[in-house]
Chains A and B, each alone.
Chain A
Amino acid sequence: MKRSNPWLAVALWTLISFLTLFPIYWLFVISVKPAVDLFSTPDVLLTSIDWQNYIKVMNDSTLRGYMMNSLIISTGNAVLVTTLGFLACYALTRFDLAGKESVFFWTITNRMAPPAVFLLPLYLLLTQVYVIGDFKLADTHLGMILVYCTFNLPFAIWTLRPTLDGIPKELDEAAFVDGASAWQVISVVIFPLARPGLAVTLILTWVFAWNEYLLAATLTNFNARTLTTGLSEYVTTTGTEWGIMAAISVFTLIPALIVFGMVQKHIVAGLTFGAVKG
C-alpha cells in the first residue's frame, strides 16, 4: 500500500487547527484593544496590548460574583449528575429491573425536548411550589443545580451506560466472593474502571451548565446569576461594549480549558484490557 505524504497531513491538520483556534485568537485580540481601535481597519496581528478591559472586569465585583455563581452551579451540577448517572447506570446494567429499558428511554426523552418547553413549568415550580417558609428555590445555586439536572442527568445516564456495560459483571462477582460489600464493589472496583467515562461525562455536563443561558436568564435575578447572563448586560440601548464582552468571554473559556486539562488524561480507552480473557 502506498504511504500518504506526511507533509500533506501536517498541512491539513495545521489548517484545521488554525480554523478552530482563530476565533479564540480573534476574541483575545478584541479583548486587548481599546474600544476606539475596534472598528478601525481590522488588524489580525497584535501590535500592542491594552489590559483595560480585563482590569475593568476584574474590578467589577458583580461580574466576579457571576463567575463564582457559574463555577458553583456548573461544578455542583456536574458532580451531582455524574454521581447520580453513575449509580443509575450501575443499577441499569447490573440488576434485573422490571422495565429498565423503558426507564432508560424515558430519561432520554427528557433530553430530547427543547429546554424552552420546560421554562414556564420550571419557573412556576421554583417560585410557587418549592417554597419552604421564606425560602424559594428560584434564584438560588441549589435551584439552578437541580434545574440543570433535568437535562444533564439523562445525558449522563446516556453517556455512562456503555461504560458500565463494558465493565464485565464477573469483576463484581469476583469482588463479592472476595469479601467486598456492594458499596466496596462500586467504589473500589467499578469506579476506577469507569473513570474515563466519568471524566467525559463530568466535563461535558459541566460545559453544558457553564454555557447555559436561557434557563439562567429566566430563573435567576441576582443571587445566582451566571456569567453567560452577565454578558448580556453589556448589550445596552446606548451600545455594546465589545471589548468587555470579549474579556468576559475569555474568562468564560479559561475554566473550561482548565477542567478539560485536568480530566483529559482519564479520557483514554482500554483501561479494562486484561480484565478478562484476551
Chain B
Amino acid sequence: MGNVQIKGVTKSYGGVRVMHGVDVEIEDGEFVVLVGPSGCGKSTLLRMIAGLEEISGGQISIGGRVVNDIPPKERDIAMVFQSYALYPHKTVAENMGFPLLMAKRPKAEIAEKVNRAAEILDLTKYLDRYPKQLSGGQRQRVAMGRAIVRDPQVFLFDEPLSNLDAKLRVTMRVEIKELHQRLKTTTVYVTHDQIEAMTMANKIVVMRDGRVEQIGRPLDLYDRPVNLFVAGFIGSPAMNFLQGKVATRDGRQVVLTDQGIALPLDGVQVEDGRAVTYGIRPEHITIGEGGIPVDVSVFEPTGSETLIFGRVGGVPIDALVRERIEEEPGKTMSFRLDPRKAHVFDQVTGQRL
C-alpha cells in the first residue's frame, strides 16, 4: 500500500525552524500536489519524504512503515527532479535501467522493463541516445521512465515542468496525469504553479512559511478557501479583495466600503458592523447595469475572454468576462458582482467567515 502519513513533521536549520508541525495524510493511489510560494517548505517536505533531508521532529510513514531513519534507497520511492538529474555519461536505456541495476536485477528483466517504460513514454527510438542529444521534454520523459521502471510505492515529483516552455508544459501535464491514471501509483507532486495544482491533483496541500494552510480537493479550495492566503493563491487571475464593514441595506446584507460602495452578499451570516475583507473572483464579475462603478484602465483581450483591470475607490479590481469589449480604457464601467460567489474574511485574522 502506497499511503504516506506525515505527522507533526518539523525541520530546523541550526536554531531556525522552517517547518512547523506539518500533518498530511496521503491515501494509496492519490495524486497529491504540494503548492505554495517560494520558500514555503514544499520542496523540503518532499525531500524529507524522499529521505534526502532529515526531519527534526515528527514522523513520516510510507506504506505503514515509519521511515524517519531509513535511507532513500530503502524507502521504495522514485523521484523526478526539476533539473531531470539524468546521468550524462549513460544512454537513455542505461539511465532508465539504473535503479534496477542498483537493485541487482537480471539483465533480461532490466531490458524488458526499460523497453516497456520506453513504449509507455514514447522513448523507444531514443534508447541509445545520450541526454545531451534529447530535447527538454524528452529528457523529462526519461526522468519519468527512470522512476516508473522501479514500480515504486510512491512517485515524488519536484517541480518537474518548471524548465519547459509553456506549450510543452501543458503537454507534459497531460502525460503525467495519464501516466498516473494508468499506473495508479501514489504521487506527491511539488509545484509553485497553482494551475498545475488545480489541473492535476486529487488533493492539494497549500503551504506557506512551513505550515499547511489548507488541504482539500482542488475545487473545494477554489470554492471555499479557508483564509485570505489560500483565496489569493488559488485561482488565476487572483481573487479581488476589498475592505469594508458588514451592514444591512434594504433588508439585505452588504459589505460597505469606506467610499460607501455596497458590495452584495448572499448566504453569509455575519453580524453588522464587523470589519471584513470581501473577496470576489474576476470570473464571478459580469458587465451590466446595477453594478459598482469601476474606473477601467486596461483591457486584455485573449480571444476567448477579456481581462479588465480597473479601480473602485482607488482599490484594484479585475474582471474576467467572456464577451469582447470594444470600449476605450479610461471610462467608468459597471461591474456586477455575483453575491452567491462572494467570500468574506475576517479583516484581522484573515480567516473565512
Contact = CB atoms under 8 A, between A and B. Distances in A.
Interface of A: 168, 170-171, 173-181, 184, 189, 192-193, 271-278
A189 B136 CA distance: 21
Contacts of A278: 132
Residue from B50, B86, B103 whose CB has the most chain A CB atoms within 10 Å: B86
Contact of B73 (A179, A189, A275): A179
Contacts of B150: 178
B163 interface: yes
Contacts of A181: 73
Nearest to A191: B89
Contacts of B146: 174, 178
A219 B110 CA distance: 56
A170 B50 CA distance: 13
Given A173-B85, A177-B50, A178-B99, A277 B163 contact: yes
A100 to B, nearest CB: 16
- Size category of the B interface is 20 to 34
Interface string B193-222: 000000000000000000000000000000
21 contacts: A170-B81, A170-B85, A171-B87, A173-B79, A174-B86, A175-B98, A176-B73, A177-B73, A177-B77, A178-B102, A179-B99, A180-B73, A192-B89, A193-B88, A272-B88, A274-B130, A275-B87, A276-B84, A277-B83, A277-B163, A278-B132
B45 to A, nearest CB: 15
A249 B5 CA distance: 71
Contacts of B78: 177-178
Contacts of A192: 89
Contact of B85 (A168, A180, A184, A271): A168
A277 B134 contact: no
Interface of B: 50-52, 71-73, 77-79, 81-89, 98-99, 102-103, 130-134, 136, 139, 146, 150, 163
Main secondary structure of the interface of A (DSSP, over half): loop
B110 to A, nearest CB: 13
Nearest to B134: A274
Contacts of B89: 192-193, 271
Which one of A168, A176, A177 has the highest number of Cβ atoms from chain B below 10 Å of its Cβ? A177
Contacts of B139: 274
B103 A179 contact: yes
List 5 A-B pairs, minimum CB-CB distance, nearest first.
A274-B132, A276-B83, A179-B102, A274-B131, A174-B85
A177 B79 contact: yes
B89 to A, nearest CB: 5
